[in-house]
């Protein structure tokens, strides 16, 4: 059998050979010349790939964040260059404080802010898990209903920031963070760690939801649900209000990063004529909620005052531990690419993430020094 040209071997390497791959591979196995040639090409391939990738660190893909920015961008000034990567992470983080971040089971501290609104404030940190099959089941419930569903049909979500947005400040040491937020909890840095030179102030922010219960109910009926939303919720504003916060990064000199964000607990405001317990009950009885989620949610006493956010138990592990004397929740990616920790201390919520080479143990050790 004739030997193959380098071009064919290259196409094989690139997965772009249109002929009979098995035949080529069988020949390479048997023919010492082609085999040596092929091995050499593979070594060159690895060498070049390594050389041009020197210093490259691909961050974990953050789809939710990109989607959020994309939607934001689609509604706003298209020409504007969006901020740098750190800023964007933090801006997303700020919204995340309110919506994502861990599961907050709160003890309701109900303050009647105004006559119109009931206010609930996040008090404790807890978690709930979701599996890939749960996600699939929910997705399927919807796609079997009407194919493509756009949340925009069901209501409106707006984010209102009272100031111009997140601002960045230069800092020369961690102590400077206290100049931004007087009650900032600062860690003590051990050997090999240093503060990044920028810190960020996050403004207060209101996330406003308005539901169209008629449209939602129409859809629920279509899905065969019996539990419907009460008409009273329709077109009334729900707010998630986040407080001022600060965030900054700690760099590991041998490579890696931690980001620390601190804010007062966000609060949820709903119209006062809504019976939140009845609302929750009707939502929980919907069939599209997978059974194991329903069980977990039902087990939480004060679900009425909870914004539950889930972690993916197929891709992440969750553990509870005591950090700096407080109960903390730690969610780690199973592939080891990141660890997120949340806990509450002296009325503040703290979110610490470690990635790019900072280990969970290092994160825990540093968090333990935060007083």
Partner 1 sequence: MVGIFGIPFIKSKKEKEFELIYRQYYPVVYRQLYYLLASNSSAEDIAQEVFIKLYNSKSSIEHPGAWLSRVAANTALNYIRSEGSRQQRADSIIDDFEAIMSAEDEVCKNEQIQDVRRILAQLPASQRTCLLLKFSGYSYDDISSVTGIPKSSVGQMILRGKKKFMELYSKEGDIYEVL
Residue 271's closest CA among 108, 107, 120? 120
Distances (CA, A) of 182 to 31, 159, 164, 201, 259: 73, 26, 21, 12, 19
CB nearer to partner 1: pick between 31 and 279: 279
Q: Is 272 or 368 the residue whose CB approaches partner 1 more closely?
A: 272
Residue 82 or 160 with smaller CB distance to partner 1: 82
To partner 1, the closest distance from the beta carbon of 307 in angstroms equals 6
**Shortest distance, position 324 Cβ to partner 1, whole Å:** 28
- Shortest reach from residue 182's CB to partner 1, in Å: 31
Question: Which residue, among 365, 361, 124, 358, has the nearest Cα to 259 in the 3D structure?
Answer: 358
Q: Which is nearer to partner 1, 151 or 182 (CB)?
A: 151
Distance of CA 322 to the CA centre of its chain: 23
- Of the pair 44, 371, the CB lying nearest partner 1 is at 44
Element (H, E) at 338: strand 338-345
Minimum CB separation of residue 192 from partner 1 in Å reads: 20
- Least distance in Å: CB of 362 to partner 1? 21
Distance set, CA 286 to CA 280, 292, 299, 313 (Å)? 10, 13, 16, 22
Residue 181 or 329 with smaller CB distance to partner 1 = 329
CA angle 221, 224, 230 (to 5 degrees): 40
Question: What is the enclosing helix (H) or strand (E) of 7?
Answer: helix 6-13
- Candidates 246, 100, 98; CA nearest to 171 is 246
Q: Sort residue 235 into left (φ over 0), alpha (ψ -120 to 50) or beta.
A: left
Q: 82 to each of 56, 78, 89, 91, how far by Cα in Å?
A: 23, 9, 11, 11
Q: Which is nearer to partner 1, 271 or 321 (CB)?
A: 271
Which of these, 298, 272, 268, 269, lies nearest to 283 by C-alpha position? 298
Q: Which residue has the tokens 């997140």?
A: 166
The Cα–Cα gap between 33 and 11 comes to 18
CB 128 within 8 A of CB 294: no
Q: Which of 287, 263, 275, 314 has its CA nearest to residue 104? A: 263
Which positions lie near partner 1, rule CB under 8 A? 6-7, 10-11, 14, 16, 41, 43-45, 47-49, 51-59, 61, 63-64, 66-67, 69-71, 73-74, 78, 81-82, 84-85, 88, 99-100, 128, 130, 135, 138-139, 142, 147-151, 209, 238, 279-280, 283-284, 286, 289, 293, 297, 303, 306-310, 312
Token duo for residue 188: 């003590």
CB of 55 to partner 1, least distance (A): 6
Least separation in angstroms between CB 115 and partner 1: 23
Residue 338 or 366 having the CB closest to partner 1? 338
The least CB distance from residue 47 to partner 1, in Å, is: 6
C-beta of 35 vs 42, nearer to partner 1: 42
CB of 231 to partner 1, least distance (A): 17
* Measured distance CA(129)–CA(313) in Å, rounded: 6
């Amino acid at each position: 059998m004739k030997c193959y040209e380098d071009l064919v071997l290259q196409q094989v390497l690139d997965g772009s050979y249109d002929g009979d791959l098995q035949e080529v591979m069988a020949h390479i196995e048997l023919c010492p010349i082609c085999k040596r040639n092929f091995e050499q090409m593979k070594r060159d391939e690895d060498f070049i790939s390594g050389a041009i990738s020197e210093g490259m660190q691909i961050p974990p893909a953050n789809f939710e964040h990109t989607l959020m920015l994309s939607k934001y961008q689609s509604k706003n000034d298209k020409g504007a260059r969006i901020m740098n990567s750190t800023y964007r992470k933090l801006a997303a983080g700020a919204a995340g404080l309110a919506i994502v971040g861990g599961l907050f089971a709160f003890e309701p501290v109900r303050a009647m802010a105004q006559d119109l609104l009931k206010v609930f404030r996040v008090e404790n940190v807890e978690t709930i898990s979701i599996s890939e099959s749960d996600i699939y089941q929910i997705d399927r419930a919807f796609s079997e209903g009407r194919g493509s569903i756009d949340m925009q049909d069901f209501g409106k979500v707006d984010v209102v920031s009272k100031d111009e947005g997140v601002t960045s400040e230069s800092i020369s040491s961690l102590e400077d963070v206290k100049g931004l937020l007087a009650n900032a909890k600062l860690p003590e840095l051990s050997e090999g760690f240093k503060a990044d030179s920028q810190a960020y102030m996050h403004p207060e922010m209101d996330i406003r939801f308005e539901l169209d219960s008629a449209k939602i109910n129409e859809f629920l009926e279509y899905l065969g649900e019996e539990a419907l939303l009460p008409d009273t919720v329709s077109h009334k504003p729900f707010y998630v209000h986040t407080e001022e916060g600060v965030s900054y990064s700690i760099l590991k000199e041998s490579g890696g990063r931690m980001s620390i964000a601190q804010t007062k607990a966000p609060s949820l405001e709903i119209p006062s004529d809504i019976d939140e317990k009845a609302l929750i009950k009707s939502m929980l009885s919907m069939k599209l909620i997978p059974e194991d989620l329903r069980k977990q949610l039902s087990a939480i006493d004060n679900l009425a005052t909870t914004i539950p956010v889930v972690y993916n138990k197929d891709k992440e592990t969750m553990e509870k531990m005591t950090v700096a004397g407080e109960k903390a929740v730690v969610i780690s990616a199973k592939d080891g690419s990141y660890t997120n920790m949340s806990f509450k201390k002296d009325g503040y919520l703290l979110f610490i993430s470690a990635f790019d080479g900072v280990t969970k143990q290092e994160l825990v050790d540093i968090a333990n020094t935060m007083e």
